[in-house]
Amino acid sequence: MERSRIAVAGASGLIGSALVRSLTADGHEVVRLVRRAPRARDEVYWDPEARRVDAAGLAGCDAVVNLAGAGVGSRRWTDAYKTKIRRSRVLGTSALAEAIASLDTPPRVFVNGSALGFYGETGDRPVDESAPHGEGFLPELCVEWEGATAPAQQAGVRTVFPRTGLVVAREGGAWARLFPLFKAGLGGRMGDGRQYWSFVSLHDEVAAIRHLIDTDGLSGPFNVTAPEPLTNREITAAMGRVLHRPTLFTVPAPVLRTVLGEMAGDVLGSARVRPTRLLESGFTFAFPDIEGAIRAAL
C-alpha cells in the first residue's frame, strides 16, 4: 500500500496503539482522534458521547479506523456501566459516520470495530459470518454498533466490521490478567472448561485490520479470530506448557458469577467462531495456533 493518511479513533487502546505503531513504521501518516484540545498536527478533536467530531481534521484521509469504546472487561456490568459501554461505541460510531459522510471527498474505507459477542452463546456449534446475531446484551450492542455506520455506507464509503475475538497480548485485554496468574502457578480452567474461546494474536489482529484497509472490495463483517477455536480447558493446558507451570486450580462457575456478575457469561459462555470470510479474502495467519500466539505475546 502506498503512503496513506489514516485516522484512528481509540489509538491509545491495546489494538489501536499496536495498529498505530505498525502503520507509522511503514511510513503512513496517522491522525489520532483525541478527547482533549489537540496539541499536535496529527491530532483531531472528538467527543464520542456528545457526538462531536472535527470533520475538517478528517479531510484527506484515505481510511478511518474506529476502535474506541469503554472496556467490556474492565469492571462489573452495572446498569450504569452497560450504558457507558453502549454509548461509547454507538454514539461515537454514529458521530464518525456522519462526519465521514459530510466530507466533499470521503475516505475510501471505514473500518469500524465490532466483536464476536455478536453471535452470543454458540455452545460447541461452529459459526461464521453467515450466522445470525445471538441474544443478550453483547449481541444487541454489536448489532446497534455496526448499524451506527449507516451514514458512511449511504455516502458510498466501503465499510468493514472486524469482529474481534479474545486478543492474546501482555499489554491488555483478558490475557493481561491471565499471564500473571499462570506465571505464578495459579492458573487453571474456568468453570468446567468446555466452553470455546475464539482467540487471536495481537500481531494477527493488526495484520487483519491492515488487510481490510488495503484490500479493495472487502466490506461487511469479518471475524478476526484464529482458524480453530479451542476450549478453555485446552487453552489452560497450552498456557501451562508454554510457561512451564502447573494448571491445577479451577474457578467454579458460581464463584465467577458472584465476582463478575453478568460479565461472567462472557467468560463462561462458549463462542466457537471461525474466520471464513477473512480466510477466503486471502489473509494468512502468522500465529494460527494458541501456543504460537502465547509465545508471540511473551
- Name, in order, each residue with C-beta under 8 angstroms of 214's C-beta and a sequence gap of 6 or more: 1
N residues, the chain: 298
What residue type is assigned to position 235 of the chain?
A: I
Q: Which residue is it, cell 505464578?
A: 184
- What gap in Å lies between CA 134 and CA 223, rounded to an integer? 15
pLDDT tens for 30-87 read 999 999 999 999 999 999 989 999 999 999 999 999 999 988 876 777 889 889 999 9
pLDDT tens for 201-251 read 999 999 999 999 999 999 999 999 999 999 999 999 999 999 999 998 887
Is residue 123 predicted with pLDDT exceeding 80? yes
pTM of the entire structure? 0.94
| Domain segments of the chain as ranges | 5-297
Q: Which CATH architecture best describes the domain 5-297?
A: 3-Layer(aba) Sandwich (3.40)
Residue 7 is predicted with a pLDDT of: 98
Is residue 124 predicted with pLDDT exceeding 60? yes
Is residue 268 predicted with pLDDT exceeding 90? no
62 neighbors 4 (Cβ within 8 angstroms): yes
- What gap in Å lies between CA 191 and CA 81, rounded to an integer? 25
Answer positive or negative: Cα dihedral of 277, 85, 205, 196: negative
Pairing assessment for the beta strands 43-47 and 52-53 based on DSSP bridges:
antiparallel
pLDDT (mean) for 89-99: 96
- What gap in Å lies between CA 17 and CA 4, rounded to an integer? 17
Answer positive or negative: Cα dihedral of 39, 43, 46, 52: positive
Rg of the chain, C-alpha, whole Å: 19
